[in-house]
A and B are shown apart, each in its own frame.
Chain A
Amino acid sequence: MGTKNTTFTSLFHRWLSSIDLVLIVSLILLIALGTAILFSATGENEAMMNNHTIHLILATSVMLTASQIPSEMLNRWSVWIYIIGIVLLVLVLVQGSMGKGAQRWIELGSLRFQPSEVMKLAVPMMVASYFSKKNLPPRFKDVFIASLLVLVPMLLIVKQPDLGTALLVGTAGFFVIYFAGLPWKWLAATAVSAMIAAPLIFYFGMHDYQRQRVLTLFNPEADRLGSGYHIYQSTIAIGSGGVYGKGWLNGDQSRLDFLPERHTDFIFAVFGEEFGLLGNIILFGLYVFIIWRGLYLATKGNDTFARLLGGSLSLTFFIYLLVNTGMVSGVLPVVGVPLPLISYGGTSLVTLMAAFGFLMGMKRRKKGYGESSSIQ
C-alpha cells in the first residue's frame, strides 16, 4: 500500500476513513434545518442566502482540511497560535485606546478579522498542549498555570469589551482543565468563589449596559421598549409558537420585524415560533446527538492532547447552545452568543466547523497512525 500505486478508490477510502460519517450526517441535518430557518429569518433575502452558501462552502472546506491535520502537528502549533493570538488581542486594545472606541476587529487589507474568535480554538489548544506534557491528574501548580493561560486572553477580550466571547473562550479553556482531571474539591471551591464573586463582579466589574442586561433577565417586561425589548419579543415569539408552531415562513414576530437580530443571535426565537415545541425538541435532539458524538470521538483520541481538546470543543459547542437558547428563552442574560451552526455569520461557522474537523481527525489517528506520519 505504498503511495506510488494509490488509485483513486483507495484515496477515497482513505479519506472516508479519515472523517466521521455519523457526525457529518448529523451536521448536514442540523445545517439543513438551520438554513431553512435562516431563509425565513432573513425575510427570504436572496443576497444573504447567497452569502450563507459561501459561508457554508468555506466552513465545510475548513472542516475537511482540519480533519486532515494530525494532532501532533496541532500540539506543536498550539504555542505559536496562542502567542500570535495574544499579540493580536493586545493590538486590538491598543487600537481601541487610540481613540477608535470599542474595537473587536483587526483590519488586514480588506479582511476584517476578530482575534478573539481565534482564541476560541487557540486557548483550549494551548491548555491541552500544556497538560499533554504533564502527568495527570494535574497538580495544583499545573492547574494554576493553566488557569493563567485561560485568564490572560479572557481578560483581554473582556476589555474590548466582548463579554460573550470572553465567556466562551474561558469555558473552552476551563473544560480542558476539567477533562485533565481537575479534582472535584477544587472545582467545588471554584464554584463557591464564583458565587461569592458574582455579586462583586455585578456591582464593580460590569458596564452599565451589562448590568442592565442581567437586571432585564429577571424582569423583562419592566422595560419592554428599552433593554427588555429583545427578550420580551423573543419570549412572545417562542411562546406564541405553541406545540406545533405557526409554520415555516409564517412567524408573525419575525416576519413583521418585531424580533430584533432575528437572523443572528435571536434566530432560535424564529425557530421556536415557526416550528413550535416539537421542532425545538427535534433540534435539541440533533444538538445532543452531535455533542454526544463529539465526546465519543474525543474518548477515542489516541493521545492526551487530542482527548482534552476534543472534549473541550464538544462541551464548548454545548455551551454555545445553552447560552444562546437560555438567553433567547429568557433564562440567561443577553450576551452575544450565536446559535451554533445556525445563526447567520461566517466567522463563528468557520470556527465551529474547524473544531469538528479536529474532532474527526482524532478518530483517524487511532486507526492509521503510521500512514499519517508518513504524510509529514
Chain B
Amino acid sequence: MEKRVTIKSEREEHRLFRSRAIIAAIFVFVALSLVIVRLIYLQVTNYEYYTILSKENYQKRTPIPPVRGLIYDRNGALLADNHVEYVLAAKRDDVKDMDGTIQRLMQLLPITPQDVIKFKQKLRVNSRFQPVVLRKNLTEKEVATFSANSLRFDGFKVTVRMQRNYPLGSVAGHLLGYVGRIDKKDLEKIDKEEYKGSTHIGKTGIEKYYEKRLHGKAGYELTEVDAHGKPQVKLDDKAPIAGEDLYLSIDLELQIKAEELLREHNGAMVAIDPRNGEVLAMASMPAYDPNLFVNGISYANYNALRDNPDRPLYNRALQGSYPPGSTIKPMAALVGLSAGVVTPSRSIYAKGFFQIPGNKHRFRCWKKAGHGHISLNRAIYQSCDVYFYDLAFRMGIKRYAKGMNKFGFGLKTGIDLPSERSALMPTAEWKRKRFDKFWYPGDTVNTGIGQGYFTATPLQLAHAVATLSTHGRKVRPHILRATRVSRNLPEKLVTPEQLPSIGVTKLRYWDDVIRGMVNVVHGAHGTGRRSGAGAKYRFAGKTGTAQVFGIAQNKTYNASKLKKKLHDHSLFVAFAPVKNPRIALAVIAENAGGGSKVAAPIARQLLDTYLLTDKQKEEALEAKKKTAGIKKETDNGH
C-alpha cells in the first residue's frame, strides 16, 4: 500500500513539475515582455528626448564672442578700437597653495602688493568657477616668461582678452560713450545667446545706441566632453561675425578745436551740416575719459566725477536745457512773419521796456534807452527785446509755441544718441499740468526773447539754425555717417532722413531774416560785429545772453557783484557760408557773460577751422603771429 502510493506520487510529481515548469515559462515570457515594452518606450517613443539629454551631457557649446566694431570719424581717424590684452588669472579651486604660488609669481613677474590685495579681495567675493585676474596688461615678454614656467604655477593661466580702448581719451567722450561690464539690468534686455561669451556692452553714447551693430554675431565651438568636463574632440564650430565699423559724421579736427575753445568755461557746442543733418562736432565740457569705465571705474574716480560741481558726466549738448535767450529771435521772427503778426517793412516804436496794456510790470530791454523806431532787420541785428516781446504777446502762446515747435523747440530731434532731452517750449496746458497754475500773458512775453519757461538744448538750437539756413528744409540730425560690415567691403553711407519742411507763407521772409543775421556779424552795428571782422567768408549769426535768474524790477544786472554760477550764459548761433551753407552751429558758454563777448568769438574760430583751407589757416596764423609779436609764438601751437 505504502509502496503503491509512493509510485503513484512519483508519476504525479513529474506531472506536477511539468505543469509548474510550463506556468513558470509563461511567467518568464510575460515578465520579459514587459521589460521589452519598457525598452520600446525608452528607445522608440522617447528616442528623441533621450537623444537630446545625451547630447546635453557630452556636447559643450563654448561661445566665441565677436570682435567689436571700430569707430572712426568722417575722415577715418580712429575714435574707438580694441586692444589685445594679456591677463594672468586663476580660479579659486584650481590653485592648491595660493600664497606660495603668488610668492613665486612675484619673483618672476612685476606683480605689486596692491595687485595681490585686490586679487585676494576678488577671490573671496567671486564664484569659485570664475577666473580672477591677478595682473593685467602683461607684455609679450612677460607672457613668454610665464609660459616657460607655467608648470610651476598650477592653476594660473594667461588669457587674452579684447579691451575697448578710446585712443583719444576724453575727446568726443560724451558722444562715443563707453562700454562696461554687462550687469543685471543689461541682461534683461539682451539676447542672452548672443552675449554668452561677451563681457562688455555699450552703456552710453554711440556705444549704446549702436550696440547691436557694434557687437556683431557670436560664434561657438561645440566640443565633446566627458563626464568630468574634460574636452575630447571638436565637433563643430561657427566663426563669430565681427561687429560693424562705424564712421561718424564727426570731424575730429573741429571736435578737438571745439573742446579746446570751451575748456575755460563749462559749456557745449553742436555743429551740423545743414544739407544732410550730419553732426560735425558735438562737444560738452568738462569731459571725462571713457577708458576709466571700461573695466569698472574705481569708487574714488567715480565719486570724483560724480561730485565734481562742473558735472563732467553730463552731456550738455544733448541734455542741457538752457534758456536760449536772443538766439531764437530769428526763428521767432519767421514764426511772426508767417503768422502775419509782423512784416519786414513795418516798424514799431521801442522804448526801453514793454508793458502789457493795463499792467504796470515792465519787461525791460537790454538797452535801457530803447531802440526807438525799429524794423525787423534791425530788431534782429541789434537784438531788440521789445520788438520780440511785442511779437510773442500779439501772437499768443498757442500760435507762438506751435510755430517754434516746427523748428524743433520743445521736441526731441531724434538724433541717434541715447538720453536726449526735449527741453521745453512752454504752453498754457503745460503750465496747468506742471504747476496747476494759470498761464499769464506775461509768461508769453518772456518766451519772445527765449526766457521764462522756454528752454532748449544746444543740439536743438544748432538744428533750428541749420533748418533756418536751408530755408526750412529740415533734416534729422544724425551722427552715423557710414558703416562698414567687413574690412574688404566699401563703406555704406547712411541716408539722411528728410523731415517735413517748414511752410513759411512767403519765401523771401527767409532772406529777410537771414539778412538780419548777416548784419549781426557783418553789419556796422551788429551785436556780433567783432566776431565777423576779417572773415574770409560771409556768415550769419545771432548772439544770445541768457539770464540765469530773475532780476527784480528795480535792480540792474551787475556781473561783478554776482556769484559766477549766477552769471549770464553766453550763447551764439551761426551758419556759414550764407549762400549754400555747409555748417550751422550753436555755442553756449555757461555763466560766461554776453553772447558777443565769449560765445561769438568761439563760434568764429570754429567756422574758420571748418571752412578755411589749410593754406588760409596758415596765412591767418602768420598774420596773428605778426600782430601778437614773437614772444607769443610758443602759445600758438596746439
Q: Identify the A interface with B (CB < 8 A).
A: 135-137, 175, 178-179, 181, 233, 235-243, 252-253, 256-258, 272, 276-277, 280-281, 284, 287-288, 291-292, 295, 298-299, 304, 307-308, 311, 314-315, 318, 321-322, 325-326, 329-331
Looking at the complex, which one of B6, B32, B47 makes contact with A240 (CB distance below 8 Å)? B47
Q: Supply 11 further A-B pairs (C-beta < 8 A) apart from A233-B57, A236-B57, A326-B38.
A: A238-B50, A240-B50, A242-B44, A252-B54, A256-B57, A272-B39, A277-B43, A280-B36, A284-B36, A298-B17, A331-B34
Residue-wise interface mask of B (44-75) relative to A, using a CB-CB cutoff of 8 A (1 in contact, 0 not): 10110111011001100000000000000000
CA distance A314 to B29 in the complex (A): 13
CB within 8 Å for A291 and B28 given contacts A179-B17, A257-B227, A311-B20 = yes
CB distance from B45 to the nearest CB of A (A): 9
Which residue among B20, B44, B228 has the maximum number of chain A CB atoms within 10 Å of its CB?
B20
Q: Can you list 23 residue pairs at the A/B interface with Cβ under 8 Å?
A: A136-B9, A181-B13, A236-B54, A238-B43, A238-B50, A239-B43, A239-B47, A239-B51, A239-B53, A240-B54, A241-B43, A252-B224, A253-B54, A253-B58, A257-B228, A277-B43, A280-B39, A292-B25, A295-B21, A299-B21, A318-B28, A318-B32, A322-B35
Contact between A242 and B43, CB atoms less than 8 A apart? yes
B43 adjacent to A257 (CB under 8 Å): no
Interface residues of chain B, those whose CB is within 8 Å of chain A, are 5-6, 9, 12-14, 16-18, 20-21, 24-25, 28-29, 31-32, 34-36, 38-40, 42-44, 46-47, 49-51, 53-54, 57-58, 224-228, 232
Which of A237, A291, A295, A308 touches B54 (beta carbons < 8 Å)? Answer: A237
Measured CB to CB, the nearest residue on chain B to A175 is: B24
A274 nearest CB across to chain B (Å): 12
CA–CA, A325 and B228, complex, Å: 26
Q: Residue on B with the closest CB to A242?
A: B47
- Distance of A47 Cα from B51 Cα, bound (Å): 32
CB distance from B5 to the nearest CB of A (A): 8
Q: Which residues of A contact B57 (CB under 8 A)?
A: 233, 236, 252-253, 256, 258
On chain A, the residues within 8 Å of B31 by CB distance are: 318, 322
Complex contacts, B20 vs chain A, CB 8 Å:
178-179, 181, 311
Q: Assess whether A329 is in contact with B39, with CB atoms less than 8 Å apart.
A: yes
Q: B13 to chain A: which residues have CB within 8 Å?
A: 136, 181, 304, 307
Alpha-carbon gap, A191 to B6, bound state (A): 31
Q: Are A311 and B24 in contact (CB under 8 A)?
A: yes
Contact B43 A256 (CB under 8 A): no
CA distance A276 to B38 in the complex (A): 13
Are A329 and B24 closer than 8 Å at their CB atoms? no
Q: Is the interface of B mostly helix, strand, loop or mixed?
A: helix
Who on chain B is nearest to A288 by CB?
B32
Q: Is there contact, CB below 8 Å, between A311 and B32?
A: no
Give min CB distance, A365 to chain B, whole Å: 14
Chain B residues near A329 (CB-CB < 8 A): 35, 38-39, 42
Which 10 pairs across A and B sit closest by C-beta, in order of nearness?
A: A239-B50, A240-B54, A257-B227, A256-B226, A239-B42, A240-B50, A277-B43, A258-B227, A242-B47, A236-B53
Check if A284 sits within 8 Å of B43, measured CB to CB.
Answer: no
- The CA-CA distance from A331 to B57 in the complex, in Å, is 22
B6 to A331, Cβ gap below 8 A? no
Task: Tell me, rounded to whole Å, the shortest Cβ–Cβ distance linking B158 to chain A.
Answer: 29
Are the CB atoms of B28 and A326 closer together than 8 Å? no
Residues of chain B within 8 A (CB-CB) of A314 are: 24
- Collect the chain A residues with CB atoms within 8 Å of residue B43's CB: 238-239, 241-243, 272, 276-277, 280
Chain B residue with Cβ nearest A260: B227
Q: Which residues of A contact B225 (CB under 8 A)?
A: 256
Cβ distance B51 to chain A, nearest Cβ, rounded Å: 5
Contact A235 B50 (CB under 8 A): yes
Residues in B whose Cβ lies below 8 Å from that of A304: 13
Bound-state CA distance A322–B226 (Å) is: 30
Whether the pair B36, A281 counts as a contact (CB closer than 8 A) is: yes
Closest CB of chain A to B251's CB: distance in Å?
59
* Cα–Cα, bound, A318→B29 (Å): 10
**CA A250 to CA B132, docked complex, whole Å:** 38
Report the separation of the CA atoms of residues A236 and B50 in the bound assembly, to the nearest whole angstrom: 5
- B17 to chain A: closest residue by CB: A307
Q: How far apart are the CA atoms of A235 and B36 in the complex, in Å?
A: 14
Choose among B5, B16, B39, B58 the residue that contacts A238 (Cβ–Cβ < 8 A).
Answer: B39
Q: Known contacts A256-B224, A288-B32, A322-B32; is A235 also within 8 Å of B18 by CB?
A: no
- Cα–Cα distance between A236 and B47 once the two chains are bound (Å): 9
Return chain A residues, CB-CB under 8 Å to B53. Answer: 236, 239-240
Decide if B21 touches A298 in the complex (CB within 8 Å).
yes
User: Which residue from chain B places its CB closest to the CB of A325 in the assembled complex?
Assistant: B35
Residues of B within 8 A of A321 (CB): 32
The closest CB in chain B to the CB of A301 belongs to: B17
Separation of A277 and B49 alpha carbons in the complex (Å): 16
Asked if B38 and A331 sit within 8 Å, CB to CB, the answer is yes
Q: Which of A238, A240, A326 lies at the interface centre, i.e. has the most chain B CB atoms within 10 A of its CB?
A: A240
Closest to A182 in B: B20
Question: How close is B21's CB to chain A, nearest CB, in angstroms?
Answer: 5
B226 contact set on A, CB distance < 8 A: 256-258
Given A240-B54, A288-B29, A288-B32, A136 and B21 touching (CB < 8 A)? no
Looking at the assembled complex, report how far the CB atom of A207 sits from the nearest CB atom of chain B, in whole angstroms: 27
Contact of A242 among B6, B17, B38, B51 (CB under 8 A): B51
CA distance A145 to B406 in the complex (A): 109
Taken together as a complex, chains A and B put the C-alpha atoms of A178 and B36 apart, in Å, by: 26
Of B29, B40, B51, most buried by chain A (CB within 10 Å of CB) is B51
A58 and B21 CA atoms in complex are apart in Å by 31
User: In this complex, what residue of A is CB-closest to B53?
Assistant: A236
List of B residues within 8 angstroms of A258 by Cβ: 57-58, 226-227
The answer to whether A295 and B42 touch across the interface, beta carbons within 8 angstroms, is: no
Which residues of A lie under 8 Å from residue B49 when comparing CB positions?
Answer: 239
Q: Return the chain A residue nearest B46 by Cβ.
A: A239
Q: For B38, what are the chain A residues with a Cβ–Cβ distance below 8 Å?
A: 326, 329-331
Closest to B57 in A: A258
- Using Cβ atoms and an 8 Å threshold, which residues of chain A touch B28? 288, 291-292, 315, 318
CA distance in complex: A284, B39 (Å): 11
B6 near A135 (CB under 8 angstroms)? yes
The one of A252, A307, A308, A311 in contact with B58, judged by C-beta atoms closer than 8 angstroms, is A252
CA of A58 to CA of B31, assembled, Å:
32
- Report which of B12, B21, B227, B232 forms a contact with A311, defined as CB distance below 8 A: B21
Q: Which residue of B lies closest to A224 (CB)?
A: B53
Would you give the shortest CB distance from B224 to chain A, in whole angstroms?
7
Instruction: Please name all residues of chain B whose beta carbon is closer than 8 Å to the beta carbon of A239 when the two chains form the complex.
Output: 42-43, 46-47, 49-51, 53-54
Smallest Cβ distance from B348 to chain A, in angstroms? Answer: 87
* Residue ID in chain A nearest B34 by CB atoms: A331
In the complex, chain B residues whose CB is within 8 Å of the CB of A284: 32, 35-36
CB-CB under 8 A from A326, the residues of chain B are 35, 38
Nearest residue, chain A, Cβ from B54: A240
Closest to A233 in B: B57
Contact: A179 with B21, CB < 8 Å?
yes
Closest to B10 in A: A304
Q: Name the CB-closest residue of A to B16.
A: A181
Contact A277 B232 (CB under 8 A): no
Q: Are B232 and A135 in contact, CB atoms less than 8 angstroms apart?
A: no
Residues of B within 8 A of A299 (CB): 14, 17-18, 21
- A136 with B227, Cβ < 8 A, contacts A280-B39, A331-B35 known: no
Report the minimum CB–CB distance from A46 to chain B (whole Å): 20
Instruction: Decide if A315 touches B44 in the complex (CB within 8 Å).
Output: no
Q: How far is the CA of A77 from the CA of B204 in the complex (A)?
A: 91
Q: How far is the CA of A284 from the CA of B24 in the complex (A)?
A: 17
Complex Cα distance, B232 from A136, in Å, reads 64
Contacts of B36 in A (CB 8 A): 280-281, 284
Question: In the bound complex, what is the Cα–Cα distance between A315 and B31 (angstroms)?
Answer: 12
Inter-chain contact A235/B16, CB cutoff 8 Å? no
Q: A242–B226 Cα gap in the complex (Å)?
A: 21
How far is the CB of B342 from the nearest CB of chain A, in Å? 82
B44 near A277 (CB under 8 angstroms)?
yes
For B9, B13, B49, B224, the residue with the greatest tally of chain A CB atoms inside 10 Å of its CB is B13
Q: Which of B17, B29, B58 contacts A256 (CB 8 A)?
A: B58
